[in-house]
Amino acid sequence: MSTRTPGGPVQATSPTFVGMPAFPEAARGALANTQQRKNLRHATHTIRDKRAAAVAEVPQWEALRVAGAEAKDEALTHLGDYLEQLEASLTARGATVHWARDAAEANRIALEVVRAKEADEVVKVKSMATQEIELNEALEEAGVHAWETDLAELIVQLGHDRPSHILVPAIHRNRSEIREIFLREMAAVGRPAPEELTDDPAALAEAARLHLREKFLRARVGISGANFAIADTGTLVVVESEGNGRMCLTLPETLITVVGIEKVLPTWDDLGPMMQLLPRSSTAERMNPYTTMWTGTHEGDGPQDVHVILLDNGRSHVLADTVGREALRCIRCSACLNVCPVYERTGGHAYGSVYPGPIGAVLNPQLRGTTSEVDQSLPYASSLCGACFDACPVRINIPELLVELRGRVTEQEGHAAESAAMRAAAWVLSDPRRLAGAQRAAGLAGRLIGDRTVRSVPGLGAWTDARDLPTPPTESFRHWWARERKDER
């Protein structure tokens, strides 16, 4: 059975935008938080080094990257056809398929299913799609409590926080901070942590296990995302490292899975390269510890009632862009975050979205448009060093997309001051006499400033907040050359 929106499965929509601080404002706050910067540096460098070692073991790594990119491009090029095939495969195996244009529609469908089961709580496996649409908040507002069961997501939830990393949502927290959260919040909900709880990882994991066990056993509804959806078989795939996701996917009688429409793969064979690329790129493991696959409903163990919500929420806008659609290849591995010098210093909250780092800097402005301050600023949250492309397992050329988006923002006059500066520079550089005059003025300014450091300039306040303005040279190369070579004329 399926419920379809009018006009077909792929239809341009206006995505839901959740207001968040602009990148520069949030980034400045992150730069001032020395503990968070220390946590981020330690975690990203550890994951980065482990990933490099795991990738080095595979001599055909570049061929795998190409295969992964080609599989995603095939799916995106004919996405409408593959989505309809996925719908037919799921329906033939007893699942109910729903189509959601945006976050509001997806949340309404999920809530209707939960209410039909007369449930007042759900257990959730880590899902970026449900975070994107703020499903937890929608359920809470309707009186349904959503329990996050992934350890890092649980830490974020109990800490009344937001995720800051694709793979490790609580990467900005250290062990001592997590212990304090557990002691405070677990006691508040009637399941106190052990009296002798330490910040040892095993002790913290055991506390989380005790906290969640009863919720797994009593929950009647589970909610998940999906890493991949196979069109020709209707198989949904979730990869995770703890086993809590498998509890969510198998114990409840009803399972609701929210899947972004870009997660489709054409055939079962296309899953092979992905299952080699994703573990090594994300957790630096040769094989994922827990990979759960299910196809429709199950008569014995497993969910008896399966609902799949295919989510657009702006993805059709990205798909329509022949350049930008490359970003929809993303398999949420987080490799680009771990090598990015900007992310390492600012953390994920600065990006104003559940999708942080280099991929967030290109995906968010495409999903939501560039009318807001935060989305205008994101394409500039990069040094364009190219490390993200080298790390991406499906070869998304993030630097190229960032440059493309910067051009679009400039065309929309989203950066009026920068546009004016570039026009002024073009005017000066287009005439030798004007250039010579500008050089004389710069030399005079350099002599007046002397050895003093310029820390702030009107109109450049945001730029000089994080760096000193270079002191102009007292003499240009043109003047030096004329002085040194005057006898040769």
At the top level of CATH, which class does the domain 20-45+325-413 belong to?
Answer: mainly alpha
Distances (CA, A) of 71 to 65, 131, 431: 10, 26, 51
Q: What is the DSSP-derived secondary structure letter of residue 217?
A: H
In one-letter notation, the amino acid at residue 308 is: V
> What's the pLDDT at 14?
47
Residue 222, beta-bridge partner list: 123, 255
Q: Please indicate whether the domains covering 20-45+325-413 and 76-313 agree at the CATH topology level.
A: no
> What's the pLDDT at 12?
45
* Per-residue exposure over 81-119, b if at least 16 CB sit within 10 Å of its own CB, e if not: ebbbbbbebbbebbbbbbbbbbbebbbebbbebbeeeeb
DSSP string, 297-311: --SSSS-SEEEEEEE
Q: Decide: 40 and 168 in contact? Cβ < 8 Å.
A: no
At residue 235, φ and ψ (nearest 5 deg) are -85, 135
> How crowded is the C-beta side of 159, counted as CA atoms within 13 Å?
22
Classify 469 in phi/psi space as left (phi over 0), alpha (psi -120 to 50) or beta: beta
Q: Decide: 305 and 256 in contact? Cβ < 8 Å.
A: no
> What's the pLDDT at 65?
97
Hey, how many other C-beta atoms are within 10 angstroms of the C-beta on 187?
A: 11
Distances (CA, A) of 408 to 369, 412, 439: 10, 6, 32
Hey, how many other C-beta atoms are within 10 angstroms of the C-beta on 209?
A: 14
Token code pair at residue 50 = 């482990």
> What's the pLDDT at 112?
97
Give the CATH fold of the 76-313 domain: Rossmann fold (3.40.50)
Residue 257, beta-bridge partner list: 224, 308
Distances (CA, A) of 116 to 90, 111, 141, 399: 21, 8, 17, 47
Please measure the distance between the N-terminal and C-terminal CA atoms of the chain and give it in whole angstroms: 88
Ranges of residues in the chain whose predicted pLDDT is under 70: 1-32, 188-195, 413-419, 455-467, 487-489
Name the strands in the sheet holding 121-124, side by side, starting at the edge strand that comes first in the sequence.
2-3, 96-100, 305-311, 254-260, 221-224, 121-124, 145-148
**Residue whose entry in the numeric block shows the structure tokens 């990148």:** 23
The three-state secondary structure class of 338 is: helix
354 vs 349: CA distance, rounded Å: 8
Greatest alpha-carbon pair distance for the chain in Å reads: 97
In one-letter notation, the amino acid at residue 203 is: A
Q: Decide: 278 and 60 in contact? Cβ < 8 Å.
A: no
In one-letter notation, the amino acid at residue 96 is: T
Q: Decide: 373 and 360 in contact? Cβ < 8 Å.
A: no
Domain ranges of the chain: 20-45+325-413, 76-313, 428-485
The pTM for the full model equals 0.82
Q: Decide: 352 and 25 in contact? Cβ < 8 Å.
A: no
Token code pair at residue 296 = 């429709």
64 vs 30: CA distance, rounded Å: 36
> What's the pLDDT at 38?
83
> What's the pLDDT at 420?
76
